[in-house]
Chain A
């Protein structure tokens, strides 16, 4: 059974970098899946942040592109999210997910973590 678990600080100061890790069990991050991050805010609902492939190739939401980076650590079977220069608008519950990409259905997030809440505040 594949499980994902987010971890990281629950409180980040404005202007600093938000860093979260997703630990994968029951599957390898080196397999042919994409690994993604999504966040949920009261104001904007669910927002797709981006995704990374085991080769290191990544796609990001253009609205966050200049601030976001997603990387993969095969040795730890984890992938990580880094979001620079955070503001209160980045306060959200952050989810990691496994994506299957198919020609006929696009990206299918078939396994999710339970989410971790991050508050941006001084």
Chain B
């Protein structure tokens, strides 16, 4: 299986900050990478696919970059509703595997 490693695991920030979450794949996954946002008790929300393509309705303060094995998710101008857990997922090979998550907290 392709292992996905996110860093950091926890991230403290404030409203208005800019943060970056990293995701590293154990094998080359080209740009087959999705990012999700999740809060407990709710449905996970797709933010981005293809490493950098914003899903419909996602604000432009979210951006993604990377290819191969190293990827990042950047959130500019943090809003209160952005405080949640973020997961990356590779989709180049089955089983599709996820990072362990990064919890963004105030």
Contact = CB atoms under 8 A, between A and B. Distances in A.
Interface of A: 4, 45-48, 59, 61-63, 95, 97, 104-115
A48 B95 contact: yes
B53 interface: yes
A44 B27 CA distance: 20
**Quick one: which of B32, B41, B87, B96 has the most chain A CB within 10 A?**
B96
A114 B42 CA distance: 5
A47 B45 CA distance: 16
Given A48-B96, A63-B95, A105 B87 contact: no
Given A105-B91, A108-B49, A108-B91, A115 B98 contact: no
Contacts of A104: 31, 50
Contacts of B44: 95, 97, 109, 112
Nearest to B96: A48
